C-alpha cells in the first residue's frame, strides 16, 4: 500500500451520498422512498438502467441549497477518510433547481460552503449534463456552466445513459463550455463500445474520458489514446458491479496502462458500488500487483490531468518529491 495521498477525478456528488444521509433527509422532509434501499439499508437496483432510476429517486430528497451543502460536506469527509486530497465532483444543475441560472448560483454557493468545511480536500466541480435528458436540457446545463466558470467550476461533462442519443448531439454544449475555458470530459466506453470513445474525441474534443475502458477492444484506439494523451477516469469497482466486466481480474485497466494509455482511478458512485478509494487501491494491488510505482504513476497522471490552476497542480505534484 502506498503512502501517497490520492486524487479522485470521477465522482458524482449525488451518487456519493451515503444511504444514511439520504434516509435522514427523507425523514426530515417526511418523504417515503420506495424501491431505493435493500433490506440491509444499502442502495438496491438490478442493472444499469435501474441504477439510474434508483439514483434519480434518491436525489428527490435533495431539495434545497442547504441540502447540497450538507451533502458536499458528508461526501468530502468520506474522501478525506480515504486519503484523498483533491476531488473533482460531477455537479448536476438538473438536480439543483432544474437548470435555472439564479437557482444554480445559490446551490453552488452552498456547495462551496460545504466544501470549505472540509479543508483537507481541495475541491473542484465539473458541471454535468445528463445524456438521457437530451441535448436541449444539456444546452441549459452548459449555460449554467459558462455562467459560473471560475475558481470552483473548472470543467464540463456528461453522464447518463450511453444508449440514448450520440455524443455529437451534445457538440454545441461542449463547444460553449470549451469557449468558456472549461476542461471537458464525457462518459464513453462504459456501456458503449470503442466507437463511443472515438465519437467523444472527434465530436466533443474532450481531453479526458469517463471510464473509456472498452477502448481495450480496439488496438488502433488504444494507440490513439496513448499518442494523444487522452486520460481515462477509470472506476474499476463500478465497472464490475454494473457488469461491464465479470470481475476485477477481467478488468482492462492494467493492460491499458501497460499500453501507455494514461489511466487514473476513481470510485464513480461509491455507496452504490460498495466501494471507496482504499478498496479500489487494494483491489488493484490484489488483482494486478500494483504497488508504489503504479500508484505514483496514476497520481502523477491525475495531477497533470486535473482541471485546476497551475498553482494547485504544482502543489499536487510536489507530493511526489
Ligand atoms: N451517472 C452516475 N454514475 C454513472 C455511470 N456509472 N455511468 C453513467 N452515468 C452515471
Ligand atoms: Zn460516472
> How many CA within 13 A on the CB side of residue 2?
28
pLDDT at 35: 95
Distance 321 CA to ligand 2 centre (A): 31
Q: State which ligand 1 atom lies nearest to the alpha carbon of 12.
A: 2
Query: Which is it for the CA torsion 307, 148, 104, 171, positive or negative?
Result: negative
Alpha-carbon gap, residue 3 to 290, rounded angstroms: 13
pLDDT at 1 over 90: no
Q: Are strands 153-159 and 122-130 parallel, antiparallel or unpaired?
A: parallel
Compute the mean pLDDT over every residue in the chain, rounded to the nearest whole number: 97
Instruction: Exactly one of 122, 140, 190, 294 is catalytic; name it.
Output: 190
pLDDT value of position 34: 94
3-state secondary structure of 210: strand
The DSSP symbol for 201 reads I
Evaluate whether 212 touches 225 at the Cβ level (below 8 Å).
yes
Q: Which contiguous run of DSSP H or E holds residue 211?
A: strand 208-211
Residue 301 neighbours by CB distance under 10 Å:
21
In ligand 1, which atom is closest to the CA atom of 238?
Answer: 6
Q: For the residues 67-73, what does the mean pLDDT come to? A: 98
Q: Which ligand is nearest to the CA of 14?
A: 1
- Three-state secondary structure call for residue 280: helix
**Whose CA is closest to 89, among 115, 126, 119?**
126
Q: What confidence score (pLDDT) does residue 3 get?
A: 80
Split at pLDDT 50, 70, 90, the class of 20 is very high
- Between the alpha carbon of residue 284 and those of residues 177, 216, 241, 273, the distances in Å are 34, 17, 15, 16
Query: Per-residue confidence at 266, pLDDT binned at 50, 70, 90?
Result: very high
pLDDT, residue 77, reads 98
Cell numbers that stand for 62 in this block: 435533495
Q: Torsions phi, psi of 265, nearest 5?
A: -125, 130
Tell me the C-alpha distance between 55 and 112, whole Å: 23
Using an 8 Å Cβ cutoff, are 63 and 42 in contact? no
Q: What is the mean pLDDT of residues 144-168?
A: 97
Q: How many CB atoms lie within 10 A of CB 31?
A: 12
Cβ < 6 A, ligand 1 pocket: 12, 15, 159-160, 187, 190, 238, 268-269
Neighbours of ion ligand 2 (CB under 5 A): 268
- Cβ neighbours of residue 104 closer than 8 Å, sequence gap 6 or more: 93, 96, 97, 144, 147, 148
Sheet containing 6-12: order of strands: 6-12, 84-91, 122-130, 153-159, 183-188, 208-211, 231-234, 263-265
Ligand 2 geometric centre to CA of 190 (Å)? 9
**pLDDT by residue (tens digit) across 90-139?**
999 999 999 999 999 999 999 999 999 999 999 999 999 999 999 999 99
Domain boundaries, the chain: 6-17+62-180+235-246+264-309
Which ligand 1 atom lies nearest to the CA of residue 159? Answer: 9
Does the annotation count 233 as an active-site position? no
Residue whose grid cell is 478509494: 277
Ligand number nearest CA of 16 is 1
Domain 6-17+62-180+235-246+264-309 is of which CATH architecture?
A: Alpha-Beta Barrel (3.20)
pLDDT digit string, tens, across residues 31-58 = 999 999 999 999 999 999 999 999 999 9
- The percent of residues in the chain predicted with pLDDT above 90, rounded, is 99
In order of 127, 167, 224, the CA distances from 171 in angstroms are 15, 7, 21
State the sign of the Cα–Cα–Cα–Cα dihedral 187, 190, 193, 194: positive
First to last CA, the chain: 18
- 193-215: pLDDT as tens digits: 999 999 999 999 999 999 999 99
pTM of the full predicted structure?
0.98
Q: At 2, is the pLDDT very low, low, confident or very high (cuts 50, 70, 90)?
A: low
Average pLDDT, integer, range 239-262: 98
Using a pLDDT cut of 70, give the percent of the chain over it.
99
Amino acid at each position: 500500500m502506498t503512502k501517497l495521498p490520492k486524487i479522485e477525478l470521477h465522482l458524482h456528488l449525488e451518487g456519493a451520498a451515503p444511504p444514511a444521509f439520504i434516509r435522514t433527509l427523507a425523514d426530515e422532509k417526511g418523504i417515503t422512498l420506495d424501491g431505493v434501499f435493500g433490506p440491509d439499508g444499502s442502495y438496491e437496483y438490478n442493472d444499469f438502467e435501474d441504477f439510474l432510476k434508483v439514483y434519480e429517486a434518491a436525489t428527490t430528497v435533495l431539495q434545497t441549497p442547504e441540502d447540497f451543502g450538507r451533502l458536499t460536506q458528508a461526501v468530502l469527509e468520506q474522501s478525506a477518510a480515504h486519503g484523498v486530497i483533491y476531488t473533482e465532483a460531477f455537479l448536476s444543475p438538473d438536480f439543483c433547481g432544474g437548470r435555472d441560472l439564479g437557482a444554480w448560483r445559490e446551490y453552488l454557493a452552498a456547495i462551496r460552503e460545504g466544501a470549505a468545511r472540509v479543508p483537507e480536500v481541495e475541491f473542484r466541480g465539473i458541471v454535468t449534463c445528463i445524456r438521457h435528458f437530451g441535448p436541449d436540457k444539456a444546452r441549459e446545463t452548459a449555460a449554467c456552466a459558462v455562467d459560473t466558470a471560475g475558481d470552483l467550476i473548472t470543467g464540463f461533462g456528461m453522464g447518463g445513459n450511453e444508449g440514448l442519443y450520440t455524443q455529437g448531439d451534445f457538440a454545441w454544449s461542449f463547444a460553449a463550455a470549451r469557449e468558456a475555458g472549461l476542461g471537458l470530459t464525457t462518459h464513453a466506453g462504459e456501456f458503449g463500445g470503442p466507437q463511443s470513445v472515438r465519437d467523444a474525441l472527434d465530436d466533443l474534443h474532450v481531453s479526458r474520458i469517463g471510464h473509456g475502458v472498452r477502448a481495450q477492444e480496439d488496438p488502433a484506439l488504444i494507440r490513439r489514446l496513448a499518442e494523444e494523451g487522452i486520460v481515462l477516469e477509470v472506476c474499476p469497482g463500478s465497472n464490475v458491479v454494473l457488469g461491464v466486466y465479470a470481475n476485477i481480474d477481467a478488468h482492462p485497466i492494467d493492460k491499458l496502462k501497460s499500453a501507455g494509455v494514461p489511466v487514473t482511478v476513481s470510485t464513480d458512485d461509491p455507496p452504490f458500488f460498495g466501494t471507496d478509494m482504499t478498496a479500489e487501491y487494494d483491489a488493484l494491488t490484489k488483482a494486478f500487483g500494483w504497488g508504489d510505482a503504479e500508484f505514483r504513476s496514476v497520481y502523477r497522471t491525475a495531477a497533470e490531468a486535473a482541471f485546476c490552476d497551475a498553482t494547485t497542480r504544482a502543489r499536487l505534484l510536489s507530493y511526489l518529491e
